[in-house]
Structure 1
Amino acid sequence: MGLRLLLGRTGTGKTRRCLEEVRAELEKEPLGPPLILITPDQATFNMERELALLGGSLRAQVYSFRRLAYRVLREAGGAARLPVSELGRRMILKKILLEERDRLALMGALVSRPGFLSSLSELIGELKMCRITPEDLGELIEAPRGDQQNNGWNGKRPEPVTGMDEGPVSPGGQGGPACSPVQDRKPHIPAGPGGDLKTAAPVVMPGGLLERKLADLYLVYRRLAMDLAGRFADPDDYLDLLARQVSRADFLKDCRVWLDGFASFTPQEYAVLQALLVKARDITVTLTLDPALAAGRPAEYDPFVVSWETRRRLHRLARQAGMAVREEYLEPDRNWRLAKAPDLAHLERRYFHYPTVQYAGPVKRVQLFAAVSPRAEVEGVARAVRR
């Protein structure tokens, strides 16, 4: 069991390596434990097509995080409740805003404004993605202004894992203390007498505009959680459910997992990875990162800074799980994807580097196109694609 990071620049063969390893496993043991490839939602079709070109197999399966959640919840439990669509959540939010209009300092007057429900629903989705519950907002509101720096809220995005040091991590670092189980993040929702939220005391948070916005958001968010509890399932909660149910999914026992196409992960996805590290035989994560930058943190404007930070967090996650981390670097000078396009290969390597280096060969695949509007620009690109 362990975590392997497959690092290399764009086009150096990271996806190719994953598929070759899957093919080798299928040839060695066609009916063994599952081989799971996890990609972003928009990349699952391409990965399934590449897998089909290998001959196809019931053992090898392609998932996004959301599709893996559906699969696990069907087996381990949690998929029985009716899912709420994005439109359904907006309808529930409008009902809540109308019922709580007298207690809302700002949002009550915005319920009929075009686009407001969409923005509010998107905000709540982002809070869930970052694993921020109504209880967390309540703690922030209840804390005095001077104590907000000491109550666990400092205005920064919460870390996906806890109990780790913040220092730099050397490549190939060994595991540390044992991993604690993924916490059950069910929100605690204050209510009035008899459990009726509508009879609860109004949220009072004197102060500026931000404080009143947070108070309104807290009230709406906790009402939404209570209205959905026990009856409906919000798809934005599926990854939290997945993290809790991975240990009960028998089909994942001793599986091998490859994650390809990600530059970073959300806190929910880190929680899923934390659970998979315990369940799977091994996990491979590909990251687009220049090996020359692995030793030290790149500059903030560097295109690889996001991947470098993801690498650091994955090291910390594995150390918390008590597992070793292996890193493999693919040859930076061997670009499989751009082998027949040297001008594009030069652009990929030099575009963000200073001082610039001029390409000496003939330019055949790079064109500059000026358009009078974004629509004309899109139409020009479409014509070029059709040609």
Structure 2
Amino acid sequence: MSLQFILGNSGSGKSHYLYQQIVNESMEHPEKNYLVLVPEQFTMQTQRDLCAAHPRGGIMNIDALSFMRLAYRVFEEVGREEQPVLDDEGKNLVIRRIAGKLEDDLKVLKGNLKKQGYISEVKSVISEFVQYGVDFDKLDDFMEGLSQESYLYYKLQDIRKVYEGFEEYLRDRYITKEEMLDVLARAVCDSELLKGSVIALDGFTGFTPVQIRLISELLKVSEKVIVTVEIDRREDPFIYRHPYQLFALSKQMVTSLVKTAQDAGAEVEESVCLYEKVPYRFRENPEMAFLESELFRYSRRQYKKKKEESETCSGAISLHETKNPREEARYVAESIRKLVREKDYRYRDIAVIAADLNLYADALEKACELFEIPVFMDHKKSILLNSFVEYLRSLLAMAEQNFTYESVFRHLRTGLCGFTDKEIDRLENYCLALDIKGYKKWQQAWVRRTPSTGEKELEELNHLRVIFVEKTMGLIQVLKQKKKTVRDVTQAVYEYLVQEKLQQKITQLEKKFQDRGELALAKEYAQVYRIVMELFDKFVSLLGEEEIALKDYCELLDAGLEEAKVGVIPPSLDQVMIGDVERTRIKNIKALFFVGANDTLLPGNTGVGGLLSECDREQFQKKEISLSPGA
């Protein structure tokens, strides 16, 4: 029952030291469990590092887990029969439905609910409240101190109504991911896996109150908890004054964990300090070492290159200015090609980080394609632009809008309807020329001619019209019924997809992309049908028997699809990694290109957007209600 910190600068070898220590101890004590907890997106890399650090190349009594995976492992062991877990897509669906029912009572949220992404923002605030233990009592107390005419008061009133409806709906049915850690904390004392184990926490910048409660329980049953902390040797990690000091997140984490350990009756061991003058990572790169040491310190020191350094690391840090993202991407691609050809770099030794990947993704992909550079775009891709998802959304939009010209040809142009491009062009030209719109006009035989339409052409157009109307007829009849439930609509759409053999068509597209070497697209199409089917299952299990209008169903579908993301594992080892500042974790690289480094994109819009502004968060802070860190 003890807590120990491993302190050190960026690049000082904290993770390396921790993994070596755990590997050595695990060989000495094969009967003991060693658990390494890391952020979700870093579990695979940590497993690889631990295997590489082990002399035998394998790990038997060491596990690399995230908090969520630990929860599943413990539940599996202790046999808890808990309610099913509601994921982010499910939350979006429930919140969309509840907000729709409460729409007339909402003042601030009412006009925004139909905006794309707005439901996700409401979900994020509710998730944050759950993680940080902001319950209805706390929220009510906080709102009592606000002026009843303030915008924040009305906003919180709306959020509270949706929050209450959400909790009411979930009661005794589901638990959320955020609540899982509380359930895990209650199960810790029953777990043999955790008793007497050594638990290491690596790669975290801080913990939420829910995670702190869990760590408190882990301290009571484990032999030792080890935490790596990034901090400078000139700072005292045990004194936290305010959120704007350097290494404030690290200090807040250390002080909160020390208090937790004291409350749990655990000993705080002497910290391991890896404060070398030059961090291990930059031992052969004095320019980078100087930057790490002086950045944000305002010491006014300047770097003076020594004569012997001129050859070894010439231009280790350089700045380049271009007119636009396209030119910037081209410069990066040219430089990568040069490094590979002249300096014997491998593609995997190079990474590109963008301040805003949405702005740079296309430009970087095109530039790298031009120079034949293999790349992996490290971002979870929204499936809204996938052709199958567009097929599904446009199919429902077509029924809802009663076959308007735009909705019909939006659907036909997805490429999955079984018509050739030439046939669609002919249909479109005819409909435009004679202003054909509405389901009745598509059901009636077309007899009018345009100057370019002969009798044979009109006959062929009618043949295409009949094929299209006959195959959609059964679905349209169900969708046009006045009384229908979520289950009815979902079942009718599913049967239509089966009738049209959409799964086979998507498999063919996947194979086509594989043959063309577009592996990332192939993997996206390998997942998309399953994602949509799982979403349909959630529709039926969460909202099955509720009556719904087609317009509301379309909005519900969009709310679910907005949250669905396709994650792709790098299809090849030797590729340039392209990612963004927040998500991407890169390891063992020799060259890094940072694009989009200007005062608009850096530090970026971390404090902008979201339902709670920075000012709102400051008001919570004044009342000593902690929320996630601001910008």
| Interval containing the TM-score (normalised by the shorter chain) | 0.7 to 0.9
2:253 is the alignment partner of 1:310: yes
Instruction: Give the letter aligned to residue 41 of structure 2.
Output: Q
CA distance in 2, matches of 1:280, 1:378: 50
1:297-355 CA distance string (max 9 Å, x none): 57865432221222111111111122221222123325221222222111111222222
- Within the alignment, does 1:366 sit opposite 2:368 as a pair? no
Cα deviation for residue 43 of structure 1 reads 2.0
2-structure distance, mates of 1:303, 1:379: 36
Contact 2:240 2:255 in 1 (8 A): no
Partner residue, 1:184:
none
Determine the C-alpha separation between the residues in 2 that align with 1:33 and 1:315.
Answer: 25
| C-alpha spacing 1:226/1:377, structure 2 compared with 1 (3 Å) | farther
**Would the alpha carbon gap of residues 140 and 287 (structure 1) be closer, same or farther in structure 2, given more than 3 Å must change?**
same
After alignment, is 265-274 or 76-85 more displaced?
76-85
Cα 1:378–1:221 shift into 2, 3 Å: farther
Q: Which structure has the bigger radius of gyration?
A: 2
1:124 and 1:224 map into 2 onto residues whose CA distance is 9
CA contact (8 A) 1:298 1:304 kept: no
SS in 2 for 1:356: coil
Alignment match, 1:9: 9
Q: What TM-score, normalized to structure 1?
A: 0.77
**TM-aligned CA deviation for residue 264 of structure 1:** 1.3
Are 1:48 and 2:50 counterparts?
no
Q: Is the 8 A contact 1:78 1:241 kept in 2?
A: no
> Are residues 1:129 and 2:80 paired?
no
Distance 1:310 1:21 in 2: 23
Separation in structure 2 between the aligned mates of residue 138 and residue 380 of structure 1, nearest angstrom: 55
On the 8 A contact 1:302/1:352 being kept in 2, the answer is no
Q: Which residue of 2 aligns with 1:117?
A: 119
**Contact 2:322–2:328, Cα closer than 8 Å, also in 1:** yes
Report the TM-score, using the length of structure 2 for normalisation: 0.49
From the superposition, tell whether residues 376 and 138 of structure 1 become closer, same or farther in structure 2 (CA, over 3 Å): farther
CA distance in 2, matches of 1:312, 1:296: 7
Residue type of the partner of 2:61?
Answer: R
Deviation at 1:75, TM superposition (A): 2.6
Q: CA 1:238–1:370 in structure 2 vs 1: closer, same or farther (change >3 Å)?
A: farther
- Point out the more displaced range, 368-377 or 13-22: 368-377
Partner of 2:234: 292
Cα 1:135–1:43 change in 2 (3 A) is same
Which residue is equivalent to 1:223?
165
**AA of the residue aligned to 2:294:** R
For 1:122, what is the secondary structure of its paired residue?
Answer: helix
> How do 1:76-91 residues align onto structure 2 when only pairs under 5 Å count?
76-78=78-80, 80-91=82-93
Residue in 1 that maps onto 2:265:
322
1:248-287 counterparts in 2 under 5 A? 248-287=190-229
Secondary structure of 1:291's match?
A: coil
2:282 alignment partner, SS class: coil
8 Å contact 1:246–1:276 — kept in the other structure? yes
Aligned partner of 1:236 in structure 2 is 178
- Does residue 1:336 correspond to 2:287, yes or no? no
> What are the equivalent positions in structure 2 for 1:94-113 lying under 5 Å apart?
94-113=96-115
C-alpha displacement of 1:50:
0.8
CA contact under 8 A between 1:290 and 1:332: conserved in structure 2? no
1:166 is matched with: none
For residues 177 and 34 of structure 2, what CA distance do their matches in structure 1 show? 25
1:208 aligned residue (142, 150, 157): 150
Cα offset, 1:231, TM superposition: 1.7
Q: Is the 8 A contact 2:207 2:253 kept in 1?
A: yes
Change (3 A) 1:254 1:379: farther
How far did 1:129 drift? 1.8
Alpha-carbon distance between aligned partners in 2 of 1:89 and 1:23, rounded to the nearest angstrom:
40
Give 1:233 shift: 2.6
Q: Which has the higher contact order (CA 8 A, sep 6+)?
A: 1
Q: Indicate the SS of the match to 1:285.
A: strand
Give the number of the structure whose residues are more often helix, by fraction.
2
CA RMSD of aligned residues (A): 2.4
Gaps of 5+ in 2: 337-349, 351-575, 577-590, 592-631
Task: State the percentage of identical aligned residues.
Answer: 27
Which residue of 2 is the match for residue 348 of structure 1?
Answer: 292
Partner secondary structure for residue 6 of structure 2: strand
Q: Secondary structure at the match of 2:281?
A: coil
Q: Deviations over 1:271-314 (max 9, x none)?
A: 11111111111111110112321175578654322212221111
> Structure 1: which 5+ runs fail to align?
149-204
Would the alpha carbon gap of residues 262 and 79 (structure 1) be closer, same or farther in structure 2, given more than 3 Å must change?
Answer: farther
Deviation at 1:375, TM superposition (A): 6.0
Shift of the alpha carbon at 1:8?
1.1
How far does residue 29 in structure 1 lie from its aligned partner after superposition?
2.2
Q: Distance in 2 between matches of 1:133 and 1:375?
A: 48
Match of 1:74 in 2: 76
